A and B are shown apart, each in its own frame.
Chain A
Amino acid sequence: MGILEVSGVNKRFGGLQALGDVNLSVQEQSVHAIIGPNGAGKSTLLNCLVGKLIPDSGSVMFDGQSVLGRKPHEINQMGISRVFQTPEIFGDLSVLENMLIPVFAKRDGAFRMHAIESVPQEKTVIARAEEMLDEVNMLEKSRMIASSLSRGDKRRLEMAMCLVQEPKLLLLDEPTAGMARADTQNTIQLLKDIRTQRGITMAIIEHDMNVVFSLADRITVLAQGSPLVEDTPDNIKGHPKVREAYLGEAQV
């Protein structure tokens, strides 16, 4: 039984069957990649996991509980954090404030009326946020306005904001999309470190085969809304069906 169990999920948009009978099982402490050509339903699937979309049928169980019908913030409070294709951070706020928000969210839940307490007195929260910033080597940038960070730093900040919540599952939506080669390598290294140091379960949607094969334990190939095959990276590489549906004639 995996930490995330997707079974029989269907989703239609009008006449388009975006997801058809998707089954997926993500094992604890593993890195599970979901790949597939454009329009295969990867993003739709991800949105069904985080509460942005509700499947027409099927079930999504996380840690023994159904996530269906829950709002994104409730699903996050259950232990699923999400990293976006383009880093989503609080651009107008300082780096430290960006880091404080998830720490407060973890401590206080979805809403708390702490309007009179002063931030500098929240010493444990600040210490936790600074500790995390230090881990990703951004402590010296803590007073900078987040929107002025470089793209790589924004990605690291977003990642750190997810990690500080100690999620049980980290979802990554094409974390290296649009990145230069060097940035891609840095991100792979960052994810590898996260994995070895924290043992966080990850589910990655990715286009870049290089990223997928250097990180994943299991790979699910989606094609036209349905899982084509699920296997280890080595087996996927040589799988004839996968070559045909997705990799085409490309060298792997």
Chain B
Amino acid sequence: MLGLNKNDTTLFLVVLGLTLLAPFILNPFPEGTGMAQFNAGYPDLMQRFVIFGIFAIGFNILFGLTGYLSFGHAAFLGVGSYAAIWSLKLFTLDVIPAIIFAIILAGAFSLLVGFISLRRSGIYFSILTLAFAQMSYALAYSVLTPLTGGETGLQIKGTDTPLLSNVAEGEIGRANFLGMEMGSGFDWAAGGWAFTFNLGYYIAAVAMLIAFYLSIRIFRSPFGIMLRAVKSNQQRMNYTGLSPKPYTLAAFVISGMYAGLAGGLMVAMDTQVGPERMFWTASGEVVIMTILGGAGTLLGPVLGAGFIKYFENIVSKINKDILHNWFAFLPDGFEDVMVSLVYPFVGKGWHLTLGIMFMLVVIFLPGGLVEGGQRLMGLFRRKSKSSEADEADGTEPAE
């Protein structure tokens, strides 16, 4: 289907199903119960899942295929965001042009950064990209204040009168898609459950599905083989009549455009942007997402992005009171001991849990969560096979 082979089609359909049904899947616990705090099916977080999913999918095209580790991809996210907010402020409040501008500008910027950074490889390439991103951050923070709003960033203001949108004097315009506001949608209460369907999320979700589909196509294309050849042996590539640099640069620009798309979507969902979006920790985050999920795999980056955003937003909210509730069944002394043992790993300490998990994955599962999943599947298959074999043995008459 759609030019994909059978396995890839299945994978795409699974992701399609999960994404479209996310408001249900991420809200498995009824409202008002103790477990409801683990529900992730609210628009703000769901949007973050898919937007960071796009960011990581794009990053994986560069890092997973060519092996070039960029430490400055947040710069393209930021440039995309600034492009989108200016489109909303000056051109039209419709989000589609804003997103398109974000992709184009991020692509152009990544062409420049890539052209220079790709003169080197390995650690020097990483440092160059990091330098570019930190320069962009510093510029956005200070010198370029007229363009970026400096420290306070940019928002849509009452004084903005976009060219193509009718905004009354003094009214603060809202981002929309064909006239429908991003926040629009409906809630559906069924039994104790409450599900929220949100236009903003579905726009971001469709964008992610397109991004995911394109990444499958790239992985399976001759271009994808060439990118893996870059990672594997550039010497042989040169002596096979191929020039590795334009291939790597193309991958760099594609992943920069993915970052721009993610940045544009962030602005479309929440119409503001500040320079911290380009800070080096943001670049590091996408690296961690990709490696945690499984660099070079199709699904890995999406999994990694979802995992980290879930931790950041859900596990970080577990406080001492909640822990006391959980361990209330224990005798008083034990309860306090358990709470003080667990507390460093949740709430504000969520980074500690994530860090430990990241180390475990890197050491024991170099292929990331995807490899973990494959191993589990493998175990399961072997077990069911051996039990079949046992049965077969059992039915055979003894000789």
Interface on A for B, CB 8 Å cutoff? 50, 71-74, 76-77, 81-82, 84, 88-93, 97, 100-102, 104-106, 108-122, 125, 158, 161, 165
Assess A105 versus B240: contact at CB under 8 Å? Given A115-B223, A118-B3, A118-B221: yes
A120 touches B225 (CB 8 A): no
Q: What's the Cα separation between A93 and B254 when bound, in Å?
A: 22
Which of B221, B228, B239, B241 contacts A117, CB < 8 Å?
B221
Distance in Å: Cβ of A179 to nearest Cβ of chain B: 20
A102 touches B240 (CB 8 A): yes
Which of B236, B246, B250 contacts A90, CB < 8 Å?
B236
Q: Does B243 contact A (CB under 8 A)?
A: yes
B239 touches A81 (CB 8 A): yes
Q: Please encode chain B, from 203 to 220, with 1 for each CB lying within 8 Å of some chain A CB and 0 for all others.
A: 000000000001001101
Assess A90 versus B221: contact at CB under 8 Å? Given A50-B239, A72-B239, A120-B5: no
A118 touches B217 (CB 8 A): yes
Interface residues of B in 235-290 (CB under 8 A from A): 235-243, 246-247, 250, 254
B242 touches A114 (CB 8 A): no
A88 touches B235 (CB 8 A): yes
A93 touches B232 (CB 8 A): yes
Interface on B for A, CB 8 Å cutoff? 3-5, 214, 217-218, 220-226, 228-229, 231-233, 235-243, 246-247, 250, 254
Q: What's the Cα separation between A92 and B232 when bound, in Å?
A: 6
Besides A81-B239, A112-B222, 5 more A-B contacts (Cβ < 8 Å) are A71-B238, A90-B228, A101-B242, A102-B240, A125-B222
13 CB-based A-B contacts, threshold 8 Å: A72-B238, A77-B241, A81-B240, A91-B233, A100-B225, A101-B229, A102-B241, A104-B222, A109-B241, A115-B224, A118-B3, A119-B224, A161-B240
A119 touches B221 (CB 8 A): yes
Q: What's the Cα separation between A228 and B228 when bound, in Å?
A: 45
A93 touches B222 (CB 8 A): no
Task: Return chain B residues, CB-CB under 8 Å to A97.
Answer: 225, 228
Q: What's the Cα separation between A3 and B341 when bound, in Å?
A: 78
A73 touches B243 (CB 8 A): yes
A110 touches B242 (CB 8 A): yes
A76 touches B241 (CB 8 A): yes
Q: What's the Cα separation between A72 and B241 when bound, in Å?
A: 7
